């Protein structure tokens, strides 16, 4: 029994956390010639089978993404455009489109990599274990997602088994992210991890080399200060590096104060 439980736990950790069909499929029995054979997972899952057939991944999906994103004039319109967009293959296997969480008007934007299992289930970024650590990191510098922090990801749909997104998948999401940044109009941007750094500022240096130094991101006519730091999921694996992230967050708080952004400890009611 405990073996069965630990196998199940291991499968869930590995991302095999969804039932593909209403009934279990005995694949050994299915190999035996029998007229009453169990259906295959795909045929038994009409929603998935239909999704596979109906979502085209067009050659001009980047052009489509750019046109849809550019036409959005508010965050709500951008979210609706993203939810209607079928050009990213990841959408076929995801449960939800994960757009953003928090208060854009706080003007402090955090950008992570991609939704994981919990984010896919709930439809919001950073709600799992890494998200709980991110919330503590935010609180340490007077930020929280109900008041003054805004959070999104480079990728809006969960990559199966939490694998790295392919260049095509990232390319389909990037026009939406760029428009997202324009519409959210942040005064400070924090990139969480190397994947965000690679896609947002186009640098492929390791995050250990990039972190802790201010870069700039152009939004329209002005440049926004941008700080790459360590991803909370990495910090869960390497807690000894929390002190590095702490230093980066101190620099973010100093920058917020220098440009007159209140934090929850300085905000007057
Ligand atoms: N990791 C991310 O990069 N984003 C999430 O939303 C959750 C985990």
Average pLDDT over residues 180-209: 96
User: What whole-number distance in Å separates Cα of residue 124 and Cα of residue 151?
Assistant: 9
Q: pLDDT tens, 126-166?
A: 999 999 999 999 999 999 999 999 999 999 999 999 999 99
For residue 1, the CA-to-ligand 1 centroid distance in Å is: 33
Mutate to test the pocket of ligand 1, among 94, 98, 102, 112 (most ligand atoms within 8 A of CB): 112
Length of the chain: 269
Report the pLDDT value the prediction gives residue 36, as an integer from 0 to 100: 36
Say yes or no to pLDDT of 34 above 50: no
Q: Look at residue 156 and give its three-state secondary structure.
A: coil
Report the pLDDT value the prediction gives residue 59, as an integer from 0 to 100: 58
**233 pocket-lining for ligand 1 (C-beta < 6 Å):** yes
Report the pLDDT value the prediction gives residue 56, as an integer from 0 to 100: 43
Q: pLDDT tens, 77-117?
A: 999 999 999 999 999 999 999 999 999 999 999 999 999 99
Domains in the chain with CATH codes = 48-268 (3.40.470.10)
Beta-carbon neighbour count of residue 99 at 10 Å? Answer: 20
Nearest 5°: the CA angle 186, 144, 117 is 95
Say yes or no to pLDDT of 41 above 60: no
User: What whole-number distance in Å separates Cα of residue 41 and Cα of residue 46?
Assistant: 9
Query: What's the gap between Cα 228 and its chain centre?
Result: 16
**Closest among 80, 87, 98, 75 to 181, alpha carbons compared:** 75
Q: pLDDT tens, 106-119?
A: 999 999 999 999 99
User: What whole-number distance in Å separates Cα of residue 154 and Cα of residue 112?
Assistant: 6
Mutate to test the pocket of ligand 1, among 131, 137, 161 (most ligand atoms within 8 A of CB): 131
* pTM for this model (two decimals): 0.79
Q: Could you tell me the strand order of the sheet in which 188-192 lies?
A: 101-102, 150-153, 108-112, 188-192, 222-229, 215-219
**Closest among 156, 168, 181 to 84, alpha carbons compared:** 156
User: What whole-number distance in Å separates Cα of residue 44 and Cα of residue 65?
Assistant: 32
User: What whole-number distance in Å separates Cα of residue 210 and Cα of residue 200?
Assistant: 13
Read off the pLDDT band of 267 (50, 70, 90): low
Q: Are 184 and 217 spatial neighbours (Cβ–Cβ below 8 Å)?
A: no
Q: Look at residue 111 and give its three-state secondary structure.
A: strand
Say yes or no to pLDDT of 269 above 70: no
Report the pLDDT value the prediction gives residue 43, as an integer from 0 to 100: 28
Q: What phi and psi values does residue 139 have, to the nearest 5 degrees?
A: -60, -30
Give 120's DSSP letter.
H
For residue 46, the CA-to-ligand 1 centroid distance in Å is: 29
Report the pLDDT value the prediction gives residue 268, as an integer from 0 to 100: 52
Residue holding tokens 């890494």?
Answer: 130
**115 pocket-lining for ligand 1 (C-beta < 6 Å):** yes
Mutate to test the pocket of ligand 1, among 99, 109, 113 (most ligand atoms within 8 A of CB): 113
User: What whole-number distance in Å separates Cα of residue 140 and Cα of residue 152?
Assistant: 19
């Amino acid at each position: 029994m405990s073996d069965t439980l630990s196998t199940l736990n291991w499968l869930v950790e590995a991302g095999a956390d969804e039932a593909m069909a209403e009934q279990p499929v005995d694949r050994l029995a299915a190999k035996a010639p029998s007229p009453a054979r169990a259906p295959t997972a795909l045929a038994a899952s009409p929603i998935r089978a239909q999704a596979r057939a109906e979502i085209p991944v067009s050659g001009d999906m980047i052009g489509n993404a750019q046109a849809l994103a550019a036409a959005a004039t508010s965050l709500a319109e951008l979210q609706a455009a993203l939810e209607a967009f079928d050009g990213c293959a990841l959408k076929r296997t995801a449960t939800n489109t994960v757009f953003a969480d928090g208060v854009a008007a706080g003007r402090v934007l955090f950008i992570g990599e991609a939704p994981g299992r919990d984010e896919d289930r709930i439809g919001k970024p950073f709600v799992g274990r890494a998200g709980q650590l991110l919330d503590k990191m935010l609180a340490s510098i007077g930020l929280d997602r109900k008041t003054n922090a805004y959070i999104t990801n480079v990728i809006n749909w969960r990559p199966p088994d939490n694998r790295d997104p392919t260049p095509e998948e990232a390319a389909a999401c990037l026009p939406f992210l760029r428009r997202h940044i324009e519409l959210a109009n942040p005064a400070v941007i924090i990139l969480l991890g190397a994947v965000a750094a690679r896609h947002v500022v186009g640098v492929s240096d390791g995050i250990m080399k990039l972190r802790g130094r201010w870069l700039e991101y152009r939004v329209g006519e002005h440049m926004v200060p941008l700080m790459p730091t360590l991803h909370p999921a990495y910090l869960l694996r390497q807690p000894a590096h929390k002190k590095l992230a702490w230093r980066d967050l101190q620099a973010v708080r100093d920058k917020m104060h220098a440009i007159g952004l209140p934090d929850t400890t300085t905000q007057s009611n």
